[in-house]
Amino acid sequence: MTATIKAIIETLTEGIEPIPNTVDKLEPGEPEAAVTGIVTTFAATRYVVERAIELGANLIVSHEGIYYSHRGGAEAWPNDPVCRAKAERIREAGLSIFRYHDYAHRRAPDLITEGLVEALGWAEYVEEHRPEAALLTIPPMGVREIAEHLRTKLGLSVVRAAGDLTQTCRRVGVLVGFRGGGSVAIPLFESGRLDLIVAGEGPEWETPEYVRDAVLQGGRKTLLTIGHAESEAPGMKRLAAMLQAKYPDVPVHFVADRPVFELL
């Protein structure tokens, strides 16, 4: 049984109140086209585009945009040769790309946060789901032990740590993507009575400097950042399994790119 792209999008957004001014959209794409295969991914990078073509998938469901900008499409840099070559390759391959960002985060619980918590094997420790974070009480673990757990479970080469590296943690906030920024993460330490925040990324002189100051003043707070893609890819991998269960006749693949940074 074939499914249309429109049907897939309806599945992705069903049960969620329409989100005004959302960045989620099908572009490019033909809603009525039959789906030959689906690739879910953190971001439709050129590598992911090529993998989708190799896999015979004509729909990419991408958490972040194609053109390196939260709100911008190809029109953000219309004369840029990188954007133009990528747009041309997507067009000639007949790929449809659905950005699945706001609706993924708006699910209850947030699909992306839930994916990360599950990938860490911590689902049973969640005590509260807030829109911006999952709040957990874990069995007591040292910061370095938690960092090793994150590296092992997510296949990371490194975790960036700020604040107290020696404390034993119980209360943990898990924040995906750019939610490591101060406006989200800083008040959460108090309101969630947190020892530790695990986040994707955020400006370096906000939350990291906050936890460092906290320690110098006798407090115990820690921030571990694992990377934006690294924090959100597990949710998109989880999505692939959900879509596969719902559409057993459609080949569904999760594709991860390599880490974007190398340390020199």
CB closer to a copy of itself out of 24 and 126 = 24
Which DSSP state fits 196? E
How far apart, in Å, are the Cα atoms of 149 and each of 137, 146, 153, 157? Answer: 16, 5, 6, 12
Q: Does 178 bind a copy of itself (CB under 8 A)?
A: yes
- Cα(221)–Cα(234) distance, rounded to whole angstroms? 26
Minimum distance from residue 102 beta carbon to a copy of itself (Å):
16
CB 49 within 8 A of CB 90: yes
CB contact at 8 A, 200 and 175: yes
Q: Does 129 belong to an annotated binding site? A: no
* Residue 263 binding a copy of itself, by CB under 8 A: yes
Contact letters for a copy of itself, residues 181-210 (x by CB under 8 A): -xx--xx--x---------xx-xxxxxxxx
| Residue numbers 119-148 binding a copy of itself by CB under 8 A | 143-144, 147-148
228 annotated as belonging to a binding site for a ligand: yes
220 binds a copy of itself (CB under 8 A): no
The identity of residue 193, as a single letter, is R
Q: How far apart are CA 76 and CA 81, in angstroms?
A: 12
Name which of 134, 139, 46, 133 is nearest 95 in CA terms.
46
The answer to whether 73 contacts a copy of itself (rule: CB under 8 A) is no
Taking CB under 8 A as the criterion, the residue among 6, 36, 47, 170 binding a copy of itself is 47
Task: Say if residue 149 carries a ligand binding annotation.
Answer: no
Strand 168-175 to 126-130 pairing: unpaired
Residue 241 binds a copy of itself (CB under 8 A): no
Per-residue burial over 109-144, b if 16 or more Cβ lie within 10 Å, else e, is ebbbbbbbbbbbebeebbeeeeebbbbbebeebebe
Candidates 12-20, 31-39, 116-124, 223-231 — which segment interacts with a copy of itself by CB under 8 A? 223-231
**222: nearest Cα among 156, 150, 152, 124:** 150
* Nearest distance, CB of residue 24 and a copy of itself, angstroms: 16
Binding residues: 63, 228, 232
- Kindly list the residues in this chain that would bind a copy of itself in the complex (CB under 8 A): 42-43, 45-47, 50, 64, 68-69, 77, 79-82, 85-86, 89, 143-144, 147-148, 151, 158-162, 165, 178, 182-183, 186-187, 190, 200-201, 203-210, 212-214, 216-217, 219, 221, 224-225, 227-229, 257, 260-264
Binding residues for a divalent metal cation: 63, 228, 232
